[in-house]
Amino acid sequence: MPGEARAEIEFDPITLDICWNRLIGVVNEQAAALMRTSFTSIVREAGDLSAGVFDRRGWMVAQAVTGTPGHINSMALAMKHVLDVYPVDAWEPGDVVITNDPWKTSGHLNDVTICNPVFRGGDLIAFFASTCHSADIGGHVLSAEAREVYEEGLFIPIMKLYEGGRINASLEAMIRSNVRVPDLVMGDFHAQIAGGAVGGDRLLEFMEEFGLERLEPLSDEIVTRTERAMREAIGRLRPGTYEYAITSDGYGEPVTITCRCEVKGDRLWVDFTGSSAASRRGVNVVMNYTEAYTTYGVKVIVSPDVPNNEGAFRVLRITAPEGSILNVQHPAPVAARHVVGHFLPHVVAGALKQALPDHVMAEGSANIWGIQLSGQDRERKPFVYTFFGSGGTGARPTKDGLSATAFPSGVLGTPVEVVETLAPLLVERKALRDGSGGDGRFRGGLGQVMGFRVLSDDPATCSVFCDRTTIPAQGFFGGEPGAKGALLINGKAPANPKAEQVLLPGDLIELFMPGGGGFGPPAERDPALRARDRLEGYATT
């Protein structure tokens, strides 16, 4: 009987483990279908996306292993907003909801969230959602230059892209008319829809096999266990208040993030009072994104093995003053929100290193270096292309940092062959940056250096979402700082590396990405590791 099967799932650990792994398989298939059908390398190769399954209450039950914390955790929060607009009884088979509202989803307009309902007959039983970085969203080309969100592109409120299986033609026309590469943009939207449909089919098969009429009994068991495990992990921390601050380059003026972690019993309060006020440019962070990366920062330190779902969010209290850089209000510009937002796990680690010194890594390069290019190719066709590079992570208590690795985002670098195939670019150099990791008992990860030219006959526009060009990643417990980053155009540094740069035909752009900080005093580094450093050419400066 279905009721008996539900009881087994709630109380039988073996069956629960089987069901959990099946759910992970379901959402991984959703993500795989999305990536295989994507029109853009930013999704297909870089993995700048999230995918997950939700119950009727909007609780995220499971997420795909592919994806960034900024997308995944903010999407988990976004579903509550979606259900506020479209409650359960407002959906019908064939509906698809879309939005890129930065304050309700992933923090800037280029990240688009799409949600598919799953029906068994006329009964809505679950939702699949995904968030992907769109190739273009119109407006000001993706950069930190804008002064209001209105300049940054097309703002899509929570609304239906499909109703009863029929596309909203007016909305589609509006989107197509406001973006530079409409086929790529709409193609990725349909890839997201296809991923949700595949996930829905697999979920129905799974629920049929186990006799589940509803997802909620399984969801309750998973979420309750996750919450309990998180509370137990926090309860093992030494009670107290721990503080840390990091200063980033900002846009034209430094931005300071101040973090205070208060541990009481099984509760953890992370407060960002004292952080800088909102910027006049687009490096601002909305609260949804602040919560997403703060939750991730806590989780990787306190309970990295606990599943990430609704239960992981319940145990934390996260606050930031309204109007600060981490809780900006509409219509603040937010396009480059990750430049500051990616520092959040690092500042959380800086605070919690006092409570768990053996569970944190030193400061790393933090934000990915996103390169956004737009212009006309030699056939006079418009192009918009985005790809990523990464600096080094901070050293760990027992290991060196990782080189050219995106932490905390997890976004992958795009292979040179793909970049040169899809965009009018020639990549002349891509290598690890020798000596960029901070020295220590364990060395910070190395940054990378990349050089490229735009193959066009007309000027092109380039925006580089960079940081750590003035203030390097700091080491922990006596470790030394990593190397600062740098942007050069024809061998010269522009006045502001975050500003839009106009590239003339033949210009050479070079990116020197920062290294991670070291962990522990350099004098304590194992001589065998020193010898390996010299042998492999990774010696620190």
Q: In what helix (H) or strand (E) does residue 487 lie, and over which residues does it extend?
A: strand 486-489
Determine the pLDDT at residue 67: 84
Angle among Cα 305, 307, 308 to the nearest 5 degrees reads 120
Determine the pLDDT at residue 414: 86
- Angle between helix 13-37 and 182-209 (nearest 10): 160
Distance from the Cα of residue 236 to its chain's centroid: 28
Q: The whole model's pTM is what?
A: 0.94
Helix runs in 342-465, H state only: 344-352, 416-422
Neighbours of 46 (CB within 10 A): 25
Distance CA(119)–CA(448), nearest Å, equals 48
pLDDT in tens, the chain (541 residues): 333 334 444 547 888 999 999 999 999 999 999 999 999 988 998 888 999 999 999 999 999 988 899 999 999 999 999 999 999 999 999 999 999 999 999 999 999 999 999 999 899 999 999 999 999 999 988 889 999 999 999 999 999 999 999 999 999 999 999 999 999 999 999 999 999 999 999 999 999 998 899 999 999 999 999 999 999 999 999 999 999 999 999 998 999 999 999 999 999 999 999 999 999 999 999 999 999 999 999 999 999 998 899 999 899 999 999 999 999 999 999 999 999 999 999 999 999 999 999 999 999 999 999 999 999 888 888 888 999 999 999 999 999 999 999 999 989 888 999 999 988 999 999 999 999 999 999 999 999 999 999 998 999 999 999 999 999 999 999 999 999 999 999 999 999 999 999 999 989 999 999 999 999 999 999 999 988 888 766 654 4
Are 393 and 405 within 8 A, CB to CB? Answer: yes
Tokens found for residue 413: 């670098």
- Angle between helix 182-209 and 169-177 (nearest 10): 140
Determine the pLDDT at residue 536: 66
Neighbours of 304 (CB within 10 A): 10
Distance CA(491)–CA(510), nearest Å, equals 8
Span between the terminal Cα atoms of the chain, in Å? 68
HEC string of 111-139? EEEEEEEEEECCEEEEEEEEEEECCCCCC
What residues are paired with 410 via a beta bridge?
none
Determine the pLDDT at residue 537: 63
Neighbours of 178 (CB within 10 A): 16
Q: Is the dihedral of CA 502, 503, 504, 507 positive or negative?
A: positive
* 505 CB-side CA count, 13 A: 7
Distance CA(355)–CA(349), nearest Å, equals 10
Nearest to 485 by CA among 432, 447, 429: 447
One-character DSSP codes across 271-326:
E-TTPPBPPSSTT---HHHHHHHHHHHHHHHH-TTS--SHHHHHTEEEE--TTBTT
Distance CA(204)–CA(333), nearest Å, equals 41
Tokens found for residue 325: 């850089």
Distance CA(152)–CA(362), nearest Å, equals 34
Are 294 and 245 within 8 A, CB to CB? Answer: no
Nearest to 187 by CA among 305, 402, 289, 38: 38
* Phi, psi values for residue 336, rounded to 5°: -105, 35
